[in-house]
Chains A and B, each alone.
Chain A
């Protein structure tokens, strides 16, 4: 089309300025289109907000459970140190002395001799005279260690366990903190559940925004038709709708953030009351600045994607009516 005449002098000098100008126009056009039907727009914002608030609430629940785990004192946690069967009394005393070193952070050490162990075993089984039936006592001497309360996570325990395993005459080490492992398992399950719910609700938001944009496009069918007739590119026509989708996503995620904050405020007092019954101080944590930013970006992205899906087929394949 090189020799087709155009008034190039009148065209805006640089492509960059043209790009900014067209995007600014598209943005304001999308705001205008949303403001034309304010009630419908507000309802859609709330729908998106509520839909996003549900997975965000689960996320907040998980971060608070994790916080609870981190802050949980290790009262009741016990480490069983099974010694080699041939360990003599002197070696055991040396080991106990070594474990009293501050670097191990052990609060209490209880020694269970082979003989006591067998007696406990008999009591546990509810039978007597097991020792008479056996030629040798098969049970090892055991040291029960109670760590200090400064241990707050499974990882810290793992460091201690590895250290204990490397001690002389130690056969095996067992941490008795099943409840902590269970809580960790629940959190892991919640994480999986969260990813699934985020995925499903993201699809829901995508469909809500896509459908809303499709309805708006029906309203502007004449305008789209005329714009195509006058030589507007598909991107030019699509742009205000894409901005519309992104705005829906952004405002929806702001509403979701507010709802989660309100929810946290609402359950803060009862959760503190519950914590006080366990002689603990516990504050529910809301979304952090980083999580909030991520939520807003996620909302914008989903809104944009929904609008992109909605507009693609409609604009690309729409017939021009003359």
Chain B
């Protein structure tokens, strides 16, 4: 369960990214977070992944205040979270297999297990035939699917996706969204930030709407 309690985020330039944000995401649920550009969607995801810290307020995951976590606890938290960005950042001189294997290497899996898990996950996102290609050799959609594969390979408890379909055509975007639905069925808590209202409306899920950093609507 993820809880935001009176969370404010103010950047050094004085810009208010989040204003008095309060919400709770239940474990195993799927939710969207929407709003216009600069509404604070990405900031919410960064705060959950402890990539940034709030100016004030409390963020808890399963009743653990993430603002009070040590470096090692934050690292442990990130291993429980699958992060997906609009443009996934890969190591350009590593193959897709090697890039996707990274979270398993960090978690300390054996090499034969890594190989098995990578192949299974690539199969889930239909990229098994691209296993030994380099990231620059993939299309936008393939890169996004590879990014998703890397995020889900450790079977994380939480999946955070920031505009995962931003660079994709509608058909591909639907495919990607269907993948998220599948992960949610398998028990992961999924939070997707998107400004694509048409796409969000296709799925009957809880939607948090932000405007200038404040929550203006919580529907579904």
Q: Which residues of A contact B (CB under 8 A)?
A: 1-7, 10-12, 18, 21-22, 25, 222-223, 225-234, 236, 316, 320, 322
A22 touches B108 (CB 8 A): yes
A25 to B105, CA, bound (A): 9
Please indicate the chain B residues that have their CB under 8 angstroms from the CB of A10 in the complex: 109, 113, 117
B48 → A minimal CB distance (Å): 12
Q: Do most interface residues of chain B lie in helix, strand or loop, or is the interface mixed?
A: mixed
Is B95's beta carbon under 8 Å from chain A? no
Given contacts A6-B80, A320-B51, contact A222 B155 (CB under 8 A): no
A231 touches B76 (CB 8 A): yes
A228 to B117, CA, bound (A): 21
B16-24, B83-91, B126-134: which lies at the interface: B83-91
A230 touches B103 (CB 8 A): yes
Please indicate the chain A residues that have their CB under 8 angstroms from the CB of B76 in the complex: 1, 231
Please indicate the chain A residues that have their CB under 8 angstroms from the CB of B107 in the complex: 11, 231
Please indicate the chain B residues that have their CB under 8 angstroms from the CB of A234 in the complex: 71-72, 75
A1 touches B77 (CB 8 A): yes
With both beta carbons as reference points, the residue of chain A lying nearest to B77 in the complex is identified as A1
A231 touches B91 (CB 8 A): no
Q: Which residues of B contact A (CB under 8 A)?
A: 27, 42, 46, 51, 61-62, 64, 71-73, 75-81, 83, 85, 89-91, 102-103, 105-110, 113, 117, 150, 154-158, 162, 187-188
Partner of B106, one of A2, A6, A12, A236: A236
With both beta carbons as reference points, the residue of chain B lying nearest to A233 in the complex is identified as B75
Partner of B155, one of A1, A6, A225: A6
With both beta carbons as reference points, the residue of chain B lying nearest to A234 in the complex is identified as B71
A227 touches B106 (CB 8 A): yes
Please indicate the chain A residues that have their CB under 8 angstroms from the CB of B91 in the complex: 222-223, 226
A21 to B27, CA, bound (A): 34
A230 touches B80 (CB 8 A): no
A94 to B20, CA, bound (A): 109
A311 → B minimal CB distance (Å): 14
B60 → A minimal CB distance (Å): 11
With both beta carbons as reference points, the residue of chain B lying nearest to A36 in the complex is identified as B93
With both beta carbons as reference points, the residue of chain B lying nearest to A5 in the complex is identified as B157
Partner of A232, one of B106, B150, B158: B106
A45 to B152, CA, bound (A): 42
A231 touches B187 (CB 8 A): no
Please indicate the chain A residues that have their CB under 8 angstroms from the CB of B80 in the complex: 1, 4-6, 231
Given contacts A223-B91, A233-B75, contact A4 B62 (CB under 8 A): yes
A11 to B109, CA, bound (A): 6
A231 touches B110 (CB 8 A): no
Given contacts A5-B187, A231-B79, contact A322 B109 (CB under 8 A): no
Partner of B89, one of A4, A222, A316: A222
